[in-house]
Amino acid sequence: MTDRHAQIAVVTGAGSGIGRAVAVELLRAGWSVALAGRHTATLEETAALAPGAAAIVVRTDVARPDDVTELFAATVRRFGRLDLLFNNAGTFGPGGVPVEDLAYEAWKHVVDTNLNGAFLCAQAAYRQMKDQRPQGGRIINNGSISAHTPRPHSAPYTATKHALTGLTKALSLDGRPYRIAVGQIDIGNAATEMTARMESGALQANGEVASEPTMDVADVARTVRHMAELPLEANVQFATVLATAMPYVGRG
């Protein structure tokens, strides 16, 4: 990185899956990391995977503005500044529900978490990065293969991930004067608790149910770290990391 101090990160959704893998990768590489998520116990489990590293646990529901404000305030109180936000918290929502049967409450929950939560965290990070000295930092949004191509019965998740791409582009443009670099990683079938069903069978566009290959989530974590450790003069705008043989190119 351009600034050697620039090793302060916030990782949302850090209690499991991709968020946990990225947080641990950063901690083991010497970063100081604020671990954010809804469950303190799972965040503490994440911190324990990198013993001796500089981690703080901040219970956070990213859909709640007051929680987000406290997350970033706690990070700055503890570490003095912010250099990276990995905007990762998200939910698939109810699986396999046709759009005509989808409850509004289920739609709203996915939108509040995946889109509104990502905006609130990005806004708080942007404000801190703009005001601090040295100025600047990086935001990496966790998109999805669904930011490009939907799966059947995934309207809430797909809509939010498409919207996240627009948010990434807008933030990237607005951040230029302040050395705030914004990029997005789109991930397909990383092996986590949330994707365990892929190997047993996932609904395909042709109506069949088929097993899908997955990849090691550590490969995602290493990619995020690479993006994070670029100098602020360089940016990975969009990266797609996926299981090589998953049905994506030509899906359906």
157 is catalytic: yes
Local structure of 156: helix, strand or coil:
helix
Catalytic residue among 126, 157, 178, 248: 157
DSSP E strands: which ranges in 153-237?
180-188, 202-203, 209-210
DSSP3 helix / strand / coil % (the chain, rounded to 5) = 45, 20, 35
Give the chain's end-to-end CA distance (angstroms, integer).
41
Query: 98: number of CA atoms within 13 Å, CB side?
Result: 3
Instruction: Determine contact, residues 35/11, Cβ cutoff 8 Å.
Output: yes
Distance, in Å, from the CA atom of 182 to the CA atom of 164, rounded to the nearest integer, reads: 12
Place of tokens 């912010």: 82
- What's the CA gap between 2 and 149, in Å, rounded? 36
Residue 67 neighbours by CB distance under 10 Å: 18
Residues labelled catalytic = 157
